[in-house]
Amino acid sequence: ISGTTGLGPNGLSPNDKLQNIYTLSDDLFYTLGRHSLKFGTLMNRWESFTLNGTNRRGSVTFPSVLAFLQGNPSNIQAATSGSIFDRLYRYYSYGFYVQDDLRLRPNLMLNVGLRYEFLTTLTETHGHGAVVRDLLKDANTTLGEPFLNPSLKNFSPRLGFAWDVKGDGKLALRGGAGLLYDLSN
């Protein structure tokens, strides 16, 4: 009722979120002559549960006490019948790498590597995920994946070196460069 403190529960409750991350990784090291080879993988399964109760209970606004007594609201907000308030999103991330630490001379090491890391497309596990694909042309939402997956091209080369300048283990010059991708959850 305008001019008074609202009655009843918060219109945003309940609002619950839960995230589970399951991880599996392994690394393998192998030395062969002048080569020190490293191989590895990192795999994650991401689950994000959301219960969004916005307007689940609904709300009725009256412009005055008199309108309230007469049952004449100015605004009614409520979820439509059959609304689904919970979502369970799932996706995976995979990363694989190989690196060779090649001893060119007793005082010079070259590091060469490549990593490939990508995410699968976010999916609502019960088929309730919806998206507006074209904001200018689409009048309604479309069920399914929210976007095209740009992470499938995430190849990350690495290059580095370590040089023991005098060969006595007291002064080293190191450098490296790599192309890195930030996979966000």
* Tens digits of residue pLDDT in 94-126: 999 999 999 999 999 999 999 999 999 888 888
* Tens digits of residue pLDDT in 133-175: 778 888 888 777 767 788 889 999 999 999 999 989 899 999 9
* Tens digits of residue pLDDT in 7-27: 666 666 677 888 999 999 999
Residue type, 21: I
From CA 131, how far away is CA 121, in angstroms rounded?
13
Assessment of whether the complete model's pTM goes beyond 0.75: no
